[in-house]
């Protein structure tokens, strides 16, 4: 075979070999094996190691992925297998050499944790399958076979007969769907949506009572970030102002509720609901104060100014100067929760209810704003500010309005957040909060509500559920962002524009009002 075929496969094997070595060095291999074992229902106690079989499984999956990705799409099956063979062998040789070093470490009893904190001898033994000197050979064989397997899988799944099979399944499914649609009785068509909402409502009512306080905490956190995401989306996604200090508005809401509703430092005890309203108002006031001077800025300049604004607010809250007023770096404790009809309404279940209701309300308001004159004006400003203005949109008022409404959502979320934690301090309002919210938009999909929910769940919910990856959170985070930007640059669930002509045209036809005029008549 010619050189052109060998060298890319060699390179690929080498690259993945290095990737695997890095995985081993930071102990990521053991973590993935642990997660795999959990996936299969094994009960792994924290700190203990998973069964060696799961490590084998992980390495096989890794090898198969290498084989799959190395075999080029348009090559003949034999060529594909050959490419996979080369890549697998290279991978095996690279890791075999690495194994020799690791084995030496075990034999001499050197502890490298001084330099590589994660690389415990037990982890190394697990990676070497506890076989000592023959493990390089085991790895070589395993990766070669796995790589060939991956290639074989690609050949089978991408072959013509396979694609015909999938097409058949798809058309069969569509046929079934059409049949089902034709057979649905009228009342289902009419009230189906309503019933669905009812079902979701009932679930939202009963689930928080059943699934325990930890899940309530996670759902509440995701819900709060959805509200924040919607707020920021009005500013960034609709009106196109890159805002990096969003946590400042969040802090406004949180501190308003905290200061007006905690025994220290002021002891005003105004009650939760009025102070929440004041919190929203304070956030809007802050937005106006920030917005008026910076309205003329755009892009990077605006981003830097708002970044500075966020930091100023946080540092002010922390400063010694204001300690008697804001509680200083230690924050404010014992924030009183909300009451409803004279009853305390501040258990974790109640907070989940509050957050879910506010979230649904936020989505509702967002949807209505988006499909209105104001929403369209914002989008126009984002697309082309000068042309939007020349089309008759008042840039100043619309931009400021977007900033204020977005800030109002942040103030709302902040107030609930502070009361739920019964505590708020400067560390709750760091730059990372703003970055997280922006990441939710980017990962989920700008201007898309399902995208924001998905993004909030991915970035805030998953890390809570997958506590194992705690140490690798930033790594996974960064990796996810890179993969996302390459494979789905518009987000997990990108926004689509409404089909106004199709929808409204049908409506007009039903009204019996034909379109008039036209160049082509």
Partner 1 sequence: MTDPIIQVKNVSKIFGGLTAVNQVDIEVPEKYIYSIIGPNGAGKTTLFNCISGFYFPEKGEVLFYGDPIQGLSTNLVAWLGISRTYQNIRLFSNLTAVENILIGLHPNLKTNWFEAIIHTKRFQKEESGSVKEALRLLDYVGLKGYGDFLAKNLPYGLQRRLEIGRALANQPKLLLLDEPTAGMNMNETAEATHFIKRLRDELGITIILIEHDMKVVMGISDRISVLDYGTKIAEGNAAEIQANPRVIEAYLGPGGAALSEKYKKQRLSNAKSN
Where along the sequence are the contacts to partner 1 (CB under 8 A)? 365, 368-369, 372-377, 379-380, 383-384, 386-395, 401, 405, 497-502, 504-505, 508, 513, 515-520
Compute the least distance from the CB of residue 381 to partner 1, in Å. Answer: 10
| DSSP designation for 339 | E
Q: Which is nearer to partner 1, 78 or 391 (CB)?
A: 391
Q: Which is nearer to partner 1, 180 or 500 (CB)?
A: 500
SS3 sequence of 380-408: HHHHCHHHHHHCCCCHHHHHHHHHHHHHH
Q: Which is nearer to partner 1, 124 or 442 (CB)?
A: 442
Residue 233 has, within 13 A of its CA and on its CB side, a CA count of: 32
Compute the least distance from the CB of residue 83 to partner 1, in Å. Answer: 38
Per-residue tokens: 304: 């830097």
Residue 273 and residue 245: Cα distance in Å, rounded? Answer: 26
Q: Which is nearer to partner 1, 164 or 509 (CB)?
A: 509
Q: What values do phi and psi take at 66, rounded to 5?
A: -60, -45
Q: Which is nearer to partner 1, 164 or 368 (CB)?
A: 368
Compute the least distance from the CB of residue 241 to partner 1, in Å. Answer: 16
Residue 333 pairs in a beta bridge with 423
Q: Which is nearer to partner 1, 375 or 491 (CB)?
A: 375
Q: What values do phi and psi take at 88, rounded to 5?
A: -65, -45
Residue 453 and residue 204: Cα distance in Å, rounded? Answer: 15
Compute the least distance from the CB of residue 287 to partner 1, in Å. Answer: 14
Residue 156 and residue 169: Cα distance in Å, rounded? Answer: 17
Compute the least distance from the CB of residue 500 to partner 1, in Å. Answer: 4
Compute the least distance from the CB of residue 358 to partner 1, in Å. Answer: 15
H helical segments located in 71-185: 77-108, 121-127, 135-158, 160-183
Compute the least distance from the CB of residue 493 to partner 1, in Å. Answer: 17
Q: Which is nearer to partner 1, 349 or 377 (CB)?
A: 377
What are the percentages of helix, strand and coil residues in the chain, rounded to 5?
75, 0, 20
Q: Are 224 and 413 in contact (CB under 8 A)?
A: yes
Compute the least distance from the CB of residue 404 to partner 1, in Å. Answer: 10
Q: Which is nearer to partner 1, 85 or 449 (CB)?
A: 449
Compute the least distance from the CB of residue 278 to partner 1, in Å. Answer: 20
Q: Are 460 and 435 in contact (CB under 8 A)?
A: no
Residues in CB range of 520: below 8 A, 6 or more apart: none
Distances (CA, A) of 370 to 141, 402, 419, 442, 494: 58, 11, 30, 18, 16
Residue 447 and residue 229: Cα distance in Å, rounded? Answer: 10
Q: Which is nearer to partner 1, 375 or 415 (CB)?
A: 375
Please, what's the largest Cα pairwise distance for the chain? 90
């Amino acid at each position: 075979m010619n050189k052109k075929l060998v060298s890319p496969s060699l390179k690929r094997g080498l690259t993945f070999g290095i990737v695997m070595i890095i995985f081993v060095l930071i102990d990521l291999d053991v973590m993935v094996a642990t997660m795999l074992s959990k996936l299969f229902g094994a009960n792994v106690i924290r700190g203990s190691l998973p069964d060696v079989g799961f490590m084998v499984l992980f390495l096989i999956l890794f090898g198969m992925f290498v084989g799959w990705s190395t075999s080029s799409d348009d090559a003949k099956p034999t060529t594909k297998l050959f490419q996979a063979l080369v890549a697998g062998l290279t991978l095996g040789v690279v890791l075999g050499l690495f194994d020799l070093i690791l084995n030496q470490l075990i034999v001499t009893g050197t502890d490298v944790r001084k330099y590589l904190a994660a690389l415990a001898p037990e982890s190394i033994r697990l990676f070497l399958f506890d076989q000592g000197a023959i493990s390089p050979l085991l790895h070589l064989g395993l990766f070669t076979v796995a790589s060939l397997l991956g290639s074989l899988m690609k050949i089978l799944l991408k072959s013509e007969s396979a694609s015909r099979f999938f097409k058949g399944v798809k058309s069969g499914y569509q046929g079934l769907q059409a049949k089902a649609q034709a057979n649905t009785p009228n009342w289902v068509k009419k009230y189906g949506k309503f019933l669905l909402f009812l079902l979701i409502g009932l679930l939202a009512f009963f689930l928080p009572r059943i699934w325990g306080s930890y899940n309530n905490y996670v759902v509440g956190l995701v819900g709060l970030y959805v509200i924040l995401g919607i707020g920021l989306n009005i500013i960034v996604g609709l009106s196109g102002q890159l805002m990096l200090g969003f946590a400042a508005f969040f802090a406004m809401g949180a501190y308003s509720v905290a200061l007006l509703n905690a025994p220290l430092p002021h002891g005003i005890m105004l009650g939760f609901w009025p102070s929440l309203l004041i919190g929203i108002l304070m956030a809007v006031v802050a937005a106006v104060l920030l917005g008026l001077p910076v309205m003329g800025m755009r892009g990077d300049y605006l981003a830097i100014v708002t970044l500075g604004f966020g930091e100023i607010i946080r540092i002010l809250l922390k400063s010694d100067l204001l300690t008697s007023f804001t509680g200083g770096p230690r924050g404010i404790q014992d924030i009183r929760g909300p009451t409803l009809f004279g009853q305390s309404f501040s258990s974790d279940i109640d907070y989940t209810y509050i957050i879910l209701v506010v979230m649904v309300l936020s989505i509702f308001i967002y949807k209505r704003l988006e499909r209105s004159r104001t929403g369209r004006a914002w989008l126009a400003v984002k697309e082309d500010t000068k042309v939007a203005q020349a089309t008759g949109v008042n840039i100043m008022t619309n931009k400021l309005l977007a900033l204020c409404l977005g800030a109002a959502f942040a103030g709302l979320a902040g107030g609930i957040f502070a009361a739920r934690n019964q505590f708020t301090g400067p560390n709750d309002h760091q730059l990372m909060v703003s970055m997280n919210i922006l990441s939710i938009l980017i990962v989920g999909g700008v201007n898309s509500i399902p995208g924001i929910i998905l993004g909030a769940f991915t970035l805030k919910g998953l890390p809570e559920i997958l506590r194992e990856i705690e140490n690798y959170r930033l790594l996974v985070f960064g990796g996810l962002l890179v993969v996302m930007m390459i494979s789905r640059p518009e987000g997990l669930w990108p926004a689509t524009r409404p089909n106004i002509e199709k929808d409204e045209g049908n409506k007009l036809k039903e009204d019996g009002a034909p379109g008039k005029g036209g160049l082509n008549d």
